[in-house]
Amino acid sequence: MENKLVCNCKKVYMSDIEKAVYATNNITDLEKKFEEVQKITKCSTGCGGCHDKIMDIIADFMNA
């Protein structure tokens, strides 16, 4: 899969999100998961415009 840039402000890539999702495997709640992924990667801490997109990506990885 192409390693897309998913957060322009913080230069976070799809692979960074994927790693963070698996590193927080114990968390199953999507909102909490997002917060943890955000702490690890700093994604969505700039303009916030990528929030919905990253939520979708996290949900996809969680269901994979």
- Residue 10 or residue 28: which is nearer to ligand FES going by CB? 10
- Residue 50 CB neighbour total at 10 angstroms: 20
Question: What does the DSSP 8-state code read for residue 6?
Answer: E
Beta carbon of residue 55, minimum distance to ligand FES (angstroms, whole number): 12
Residue 2, Cα to own-chain centre: how many angstroms? 16
Structure token digits, residue 49: 């415009």
Structure token digits, residue 38: 């955000």
Which of the residues 23 through 52 are near ligand FES (CB under 6 A)? 43-44, 46-50
17 lies in the binding site for ligand FES (CB under 6 A): no
Residues engaged in binding ligand FES (CB under 6 A) = 7-10, 43-44, 46-50
